[in-house]
Amino acid sequence: MKKILLIATGGTIASHSGKEGLIPQIQAKGLLKCVPEVYDICRPDAIQIYNIDSTNVTPSHWVTLATTIRDHYDEYDGFVVCHGTDTMSYTAAMLSYMVQGSPKPIVLTGSQQPIDKEDTDGRINLRDSFLYAASDAASDVVIVFQGNVIAGTRAKKIRTKSYNAFTSVDFPNLAVIRDGRVIQYITTPKRDKPEFFLQLNEKVGLLTLTPGVKGEILDAYFRLHDAVVLSGYGTGGIPEGEYYGFYEVIQRWQSKGKTLVVTTQVQQEGSDMSVYQVGRGLKNRFDLLESYSMTYESIITKLMWILAQTKEDEAVEKLFYKNINYDLIG
């Protein structure tokens, strides 16, 4: 039987009710006790690296998580990470860049209800995660939730309370889990070993445009960050003209070596700045990066990874457009 390591980080799945709401309190071994059937699937171990609400996750927590996986990588055949749902998509994307090309599965899961509640989804999700982590077809970073196996860079939380909380954006599920069986749709070619990256640059900011927002806000974002993700309208439209003043701000900060990525607020189908003048004009004038089909979570975490490796424009562009764990489509 395969050896699978459960890495517990907190989240709803590990919570008890307190005076001010749910608080993560259940430890890793306590989670395992709630799903005794996993001992028929694999040989599980469990460790606790922190116990927090995922709202409080920071890049330093990602480094701790990736370091833990690296330090135990040779001992186990796969990993299951229990994580809060609110930032799970960010963590899954970040792990896709920090642990690249893992031939062993790194499965993130959680729940919308604490695991010790009678009507919880936590026991099913945790059991399914161990089942997938023990599958011969599994590899790389994925989220397993409500029977869906989603590539780590394609996942997004779309519901706050319902059990079917996650979707795979513009990309099919890698697999589904039905009646205790893994049905694999897409198999990723396995490498011999992963590549670990444990350095991050936290100075990446996301500015979502609203009608009337002016260049002063963008200027402040550039002042505080090494890269700014500018989330425009539709296919990637960015307002132009003196009222907004975006072009002048972008020109000034790009001359100082700052990176600009343009994305869209629309969840499905990605950006295409060539369609409208308000997108094409900006792209023709500046050396910016366009996100196309990437999710917010992937763009931001990928930039944190890239800018820890290099700040040279050509190298940044090359790494940004490198397809990693299905983050770029087409």
Region 284-305: mean pLDDT is: 96
For residue 276, what pLDDT band results from cuts at 50, 70 and 90?
A: confident
Region 118-126: mean pLDDT is: 95
pLDDT in tens, 169-219: 999 999 999 999 999 999 988 999 999 999 999 999 999 999 999 999 999
> Can you give the residue ranges of every domain in the chain?
3-196, 204-320
Angle among Cα 304, 309, 310 to the nearest 5 degrees reads: 100
pLDDT in tens, 30-55: 999 999 999 999 999 999 999 999 99
SS3 label, residue 143: strand
Active site residue 12: yes
pLDDT in tens, 129-181: 999 999 999 999 999 999 999 999 999 999 999 999 999 999 999 999 999 99
DSSP 134: T
CA 247 vs. chain centroid, Å, equals: 30
Predicted pLDDT at 118: 87
Predicted pLDDT at 23: 81
Domain covering 204-320 in this structure, CATH number: 3.40.50.40
- CA–CA distance, 282 with 288 (Å, rounded to integer): 9
Alpha helices of the chain — where are they, by DSSP H?
28-33, 59-72, 88-98, 122-133, 215-224, 246-254, 277-285, 296-309, 313-320
Fold match, 3-196 / 204-320: yes
Catalytic choice (12, 87, 109, 263): 12
Structure tokens at 141: 């970073």
Architecture of domain 3-196: 3-Layer(aba) Sandwich (3.40)
Structure tokens at 149: 């196996």
- Does the pLDDT at position 17 exceed 80? no
